[in-house]
Copies of this chain bind each other. A is one copy, B any other.
Amino acid sequence: MKKLAASTAGALMIGSELLSGKISDENLAPLARTLRTLGVRLTRVVTVLDDLDAIATELTALRTSLDIVFTSGGVGPTHDDITIAAVARSFGVGVREDHSYRALLERTYGERCTPVHLSMALVPEGAELFTTPDVTWPALVVGNVWVLPGLPEAFRSKLSIVHAWVQGPMVLHSRAVFLKTDEVDITEHLNAIVKAHPSVEIGSYPKWFDPTYKTKITFDATNQAELDAAVQDLVNRLENDVARIE
């Protein structure tokens, strides 16, 4: 199977429940980690209400500026599930019944299968269904847009399909050093290290109320030797402050 190449990615998190605080998003971090593993750079995420115009407009902006886009949420049989219609609008296409999806629904639900169940087989024209040998319930792909369900368990099952089909250009190596020191007290060392190792992406994250460390310094690079040199530089400067390295 030929993989789908992508360097940059975006995501559209759909659902009024995310913007009212009724539900906390659980899908962005697993998506981000999957893309990172694949070497695809996630650069922009937008969260919107269940509003057809807003979803279509934001999706068009994302899919025309980035290589690949993932939507989360708003697929299902109820009145607030309008993602399929919004994706179709963004692409300027209609909605049709997918025969293989309908057959899957009929096989799965058997005698319980109603028109409501079958409505889930309605997809934007031109949609493709992607599966893997392990995940046979398909992920819906329209152009460069993966239309994924919002329910976290279902979303994560689709990520294994993403993992099998998508491939980015870079492999990123990562390490993290946990320090027993406040961020503000190591800033000058950190700035010197950032300057000395321009090919390494360095992040600094303070933590309150953790007995094991106060600041986490992360290192990411495509070159393993350059990564190790930056980590070693920090360790040399702040040896007595290091709680652990991961």
Contact = CB atoms under 8 A, between A and B. Distances in A.
B32 A218 contact: no
Nearest to A191: B79
A18 B32 contact: yes
**Identical subunits present:** 2
B44 A21 contact: no
A62 B154 CA distance: 31
B206 A22 contact: no
A114 B32 CA distance: 37
Given A21-B32, A36-B20, A184-B116, A190 B79 contact: yes
A25 B114 CA distance: 39
B45 A49 contact: no
A22 to B, nearest CB: 6
Interface in A75-129: 76-80, 112, 114, 116-117
A19 to B, nearest CB: 5
Given A24-B29, A77-B187, A19 B43 contact: yes
Given A46-B45, A116-B188, A117-B184, A203 B21 contact: no
A68 interface: no
A131 interface: no
Given A21-B32, A153-B209, A209-B153, A204 B78 contact: yes
A89 to B, nearest CB: 18
A112 B187 CA distance: 14
Interface in A169-203: 183-185, 187-188, 190-191, 194, 201-203
Contacts of A141: none
Given A153-B208, A187-B77, A194-B79, A48 B54 contact: no
A80 B218 CA distance: 12
A19 B48 contact: no
Interface in A12-28: 13, 16-26, 28
- Closest 6 CB pairs between A and B? A21-B32, A21-B33, A45-B47, A24-B29, A78-B204, A116-B187
Given A44-B47, A44-B54, A79-B191, 13 more contacts: A18-B45, A20-B32, A21-B30, A22-B205, A23-B205, A25-B29, A46-B47, A47-B47, A77-B183, A78-B190, A78-B204, A80-B203, A151-B208
